[in-house]
Amino acid sequence: MSRVKENLIELGSLGRKDGARVESYEQLDTDKGLWRLEGNELSKASKDYLVETMEEAGLEIRFDRAGNIFGRKEGTDPGRKAVMSGSHLDSVKNGGQFDGPLGVIGALEAVRVINEEGFEHSRPIEVAVFVGEEGSAFERGLIGSEVLTGAISYDEVLNLANSDGELLKNVLGDYRGEFLMDLGGVEYFVELHPEQGPVLDTEGIPVGIVESITGLYWLRVVIEGEENHAGTTPMKMRKDALVKAAEIVSFVHEKALDMAEKTNGSFVATVGRLEVHPSATNIIPGRVELGIDIRDVNQGNIDVFKAAVTDKVAEVSRVPGMKAKAQVLVDKPPCLCSGEVIEAIERAVRELGLEARKMSSGAAHDAQNLAGKVKTAMIFVQSANGISHSPREWTSWEDVETGVNVLTRVIKDLSG
């Protein structure tokens, strides 16, 4: 277990601008989170460390054209379909050190334990590191698993541009190859991840068994009015793009509250990005961009809400002197997890004498893309105080050990 802790602390250090090593909850600093955005120098340093660590475990390393990393351990019957496990390394802006790396290091540790125990498994084992899961650099999440499942072409994903106008194919550098992973040769996928919510922590339950994963819908809304002088333009003659943007922000919030109450479910919607142009105190904003995130495990609820938002944007565009348009960035339906993999997780939990509960994931994961091609499920462990996507994100080392132990047993079960 000490090497898992060391791996996660080191990856956390490599992802922080100041290189701080955070070993305990008390050392967390809200101003010193991870900035491991896909393709930046912190990302490359982290991948260097990870690849070296995977090679030390005897894994055969391959890079695909989009920058996904795969480490393979052959089984006694290489002709059988593989068991795959893993997650991602990239972080949100000013993020935490467990989201993504826990699943990667957990899968790697499972391989190391299997090596040390001399456990014979007939199926090959693949440790996967997916590129660009967060969407923090390229405004499109889950891109590594999307290209892997054929939802987006390699050419399209490689020509995605980040906020600096850099193309993914250029920022990846040496972390690209010509390997093509064929999911037809993969039987199972299982991902270990912090819950990113308060349920397990609040209820004091160590393990969550994920039965379904939320649908995810992202909209970019652009509103254009007329940039003008803040002091000389009469109030009734203004075409203020920010005022109309504020109407949409309020609409999203109020409509989401109403939807959540009426459905008594997991529906959420957020305006998480707002860019005002030219963003000067003495200038009436002429252009505003909004980023809207809509999620639920019920596709019907998502459809109703996105139609309502689209109508609201159209309403703004009909105001004289205003233009408004919406662009879909992400449209991922909810998914159900594999009963076969869920049963394997339940067996592992019973064998370890742990308490667990079945639950849905309100966060999107690469697992939901793979679920359309491969038998898939997820293992959750507690997030302290339910906090995630934050420098205050934390999973106790005891919970990390619990999750890795469950994952290891599941991989043994499915590969044996």
What are 259-283's pLDDT values in tens digits? 999 887 789 999 999 999 999 999 9
Alpha-carbon Rg for the chain in angstroms: 22
How far, rounded to the nearest angstrom, does the alpha carbon of residue 79 sit from its chain's CA centroid?
A: 31
Cα separation, 322 vs 318, whole angstroms = 7
Digit-coded pLDDT (tens) for 47-96: 999 999 999 999 999 999 999 999 999 999 989 999 999 999 999 999 99
Q: pLDDT at position 416, please?
A: 87
Cα separation, 176 vs 189, whole angstroms = 23
Average pLDDT, integer, range 160-189: 93
Three-class SS of the chain: CHHHHHHHHHHHHHHECCCCCCCCHHHCCCCCCECCCCCCHHHHHHHHHHHHHHHHCCCEEEEECCCCEEEEECCCCCCCCEEEEEEECCCCCCECCCCCHHHHHHHHHHHHHHHHHCCCCCCCEEEEEECCCCCCCCCCCCHHHHHHHCCCCHHHHHCCECCCCCEHHHHCCCCCCCECCCHHHEEEEEEEEECCCCHHHHHCCCEEEEEEECEEEEEEEEEECCCEECCCCCHHHCCCHHHHHHHHHHHHHHHHHHHHHHHCCCCEEEEEEEEEECCCCCEECCEEEEEEEEEECCHHHHHHHHHHHHHHHHHHHCCCCCEEEEEEEEEECCEECCHHHHHHHHHHHHHCCCCEEEEEECCCCHHHHHCCCCEEEEEEECCHHHCCCCCCCCCCHHHHHHHHHHHHHHHHHHHC
Assigned CATH for 2-214+335-415: 3.40.630.10
Listed in order, the ranges of the chain carrying CATH 3.40.630.10 are 2-214+335-415
Digit-coded pLDDT (tens) for 194-233: 999 999 999 999 999 999 998 989 999 999 999 999 999 9
* Chosen CATH of 216-332 out of 3.30.70.360, 3.40.50.300, 3.40.605.10, 3.40.920.10: 3.30.70.360
Location of structure tokens 């809509």:
294
Amino acid of residue 200: L
Average pLDDT, integer, range 177-186: 95
Digit-coded pLDDT (tens) for 355-390: 999 999 988 899 999 999 999 999 999 999 999 999
Listed in order, the ranges of the chain carrying CATH 3.30.70.360 are 216-332
Helix-helix angle 339-351:397-415, to 10 degrees: 120
- For the chain, percent of residues with pLDDT exceeding 90: 92
- For the chain, percent of residues with pLDDT exceeding 70: 100
What mean pLDDT value characterizes the chain? 95
Tokens for 385, please give them. Answer: 């105080």
Digit-coded pLDDT (tens) for 306-361: 999 999 999 999 999 999 999 998 888 899 999 999 999 999 999 999 999 999 99
Cα separation, 323 vs 23, whole angstroms = 50
Q: pLDDT at position 1, please?
A: 54
99 pLDDT above the threshold of 70: yes
